[in-house]
A and B are shown apart, each in its own frame.
Chain A
Amino acid sequence: MRIYPFIIEIFQIAIVLILAPIFIGWIRMLKCWFQGRTSAGLFQPLRDIMKLFYKDVVLAENASWIFRFTPYLVFAVTVLAGGIIPILSVDLPLSATADVIALIALFAIARFFIALAGMDIGTAFGGMGSSREMMIASLAEPAMLMAIFTVSLVSKSTSLSQIVQTITHAEFILRPSMAFAILAFILITIAETGRIPVDNPATHLELTMIHEAMILEYSGRHLALIEWAGMMKLFLFTSIGIASFFPWGIAAVDNLFQLPAAIIFMAVKFCIVGIVLVLIELGLAKMRIFRVPEFLGSAFLFASLGMISYFILE
């Protein structure tokens, strides 16, 4: 029984927990810079979460067990997902437990419960947010699966670790299918993690909220857990993207010495992703909710085109 894969595993989960808020902080900081504002620093999201943990939980009178249970479930599921995705190394014991399809199912479970919790209290905003969230999900998930299938076709596996290994070892080929899949993936990530132009995480403007509307009733440690999970979700989606499309630099099996390099690579990649994301968010305005199907329709289109062009062109 080798021990150090478990060490890596634990290390990675720790990294996900810590770095996810920092990544959000990085994005907010960049945004501030671009807009000429003073930023609150990299660690502000982390401090926010900590602060929320000290606060009391205020529960509505009619809140059921679902409402109380959901934050823990969402958080646990997201952490579990963080253990599966190869972020630093492919040598993860947990990665054998679930392939990328199961990973998407994990996120789906989290979303399902958040939507339920949103409706649980019975406020108007919660229901509205849940219904919007489910609409987006129903459109984004097929597209996500299509994009992932394209990657799986290219690397002949649905396990992320396997995908990383295949792609890093194969000769580099310009693949139109991968290009399409990347495009699709970016659009889906934006939609799934509630960024501009689909949702605006920074606002509580009544009519445009999606994600915020669902969690409007949460407070204290519940809110902290959900916010934290939400930050991790962006971090993990980015990691899935990096693992599927730009896996170079992720440490191989039985190679501890690559770990420091892997950490640096990861940091660089996340910095770049942050910049790209901020540029997208700055360049676009939030779209009307009725346009979201078109947005996700194009994501589905790109994903399907990727898959088709794998057959047609490669």
Chain B
Amino acid sequence: MMLLILLGISLISAIILAFVGDRKFAPEINILGSAVTFLAGLGLAIQVYAQGPIIAGGKFFFVDAFNVYLTVLTSFVSMTTAIFSRRYMRREREHGRIGHKRIRFYHSMFQLFIFAMLLALLTNNVGVLWIAMELATLSTVLLVSLYRTPTAIEAAWKYFILCGVGIAQALFGTVLLYFAAEKVLGEGGEALLWTNLSQVSDKLEPTVLSLAFVFLMVGYGTKVGLVPLHNWLPDAHSEGPTPISAVLSGLLLNIALYALVRCKVLVDGATGTHRAGYIMMGFGLLSILVASFSLLRQKDIKRMFAYSSIEHMGIATFAFGLGGPIATFGALLHMLVHSLTKSSIFFTVGHASQMHSTQEMSRIRGLIKGNPLVGWGLMLGVMAIVGMPPFGVFTSEFLILTATIKDAPLLTPFFLIGLAVAFAALFRRVQPMVSGSAPSSQQSLKAANLPVILHMILVLILGIYMPDFLSKWFHTAVELLK
């Protein structure tokens, strides 16, 4: 029941918003829809917390400790993003960057995107997972090109083509997975259900699954934005409207990683070796290093934070690859805090670039003077994202670092170099932007305060204190992913 509300609301909101169009209350409907979705997500979480994993809808849906927290996270961040986008998009329209039709399109697609992500999270069927991932891509492609500038269209085309190609590889991987599963579980839809697969994973043919994993890794890895499959990501993030950058970075990458990890569990079960983990560690470490050094050369603010997302997804992928209870725990936490922090950063970045009518960092100055909340929000957000205590990212990175020192000591220096370079690069850029006096060209605006404050408080809390229910979930999830 909760599940139906959860999925249904966003779909219905998408349809309603398509009809409402650019009325005055459209953003409010958007927020309302997301809020109800979030409440349903919470309800589902409580249900799972009380009863344990749920299988529903004729085994079509499956909720366990791993995906339930991502569900809550997804619905929460989409709610706050909806709140943020109300003021953000209003200003964009007032400045004539987008028209009525595109506002309608934006709202409708935003909800469809949330629906696709939630479907990807909640489905039990590995095939449907793929479909939902593709749907999530498709629903955001035209949002990336919303401004219709040449660069925006180029970014969206790149996003469409690269992710399309990538995700096609994932489908081939899924076909191979089904091929292996069919031998054990028999023909039909049952053979693609994750719950069934995970039970018989040790009986699946190892050679086939190894091959399947390579394709799945390339496919979903493209969506996670792992180096060297990351080319679309900085473009899509920098050219799309900021709320979309926030959800792409904060949510979509997570979901793709979720899909990848789900598949890894099956492959590990079948091969009995750690091969899949090594592949993930390689991709992860490469992403950390390449992304952190790329951070140094960025001039566009959203592009820079896009690279930061690649780095953090690299960290999480690396940690999942590392395996072991501490690393996995760290990775799960990292997905959570990165998502919260990064979307909050994008909120402030969006306002900052609106204030200066540019995304060029050299022209953004004096944010704290101009709008204290935006300035401090960005400052604190960046402090959090580079892993300074007492924020949550510090905790998760610390956990992952400890696990690295323990399990793969030789890789520790690379990991640390990546973190250090990212730290330096981000601070070097952000510090002049927030401090100093505001240039005369700066415009004032009404910023959306609530989302930023909410996110930063949550990240702070997670850094200081881990709620019982969350650590219990994480522990269960760690067990599941072992």
Direct chain A–B contact by Cβ atoms under 8 Å: no
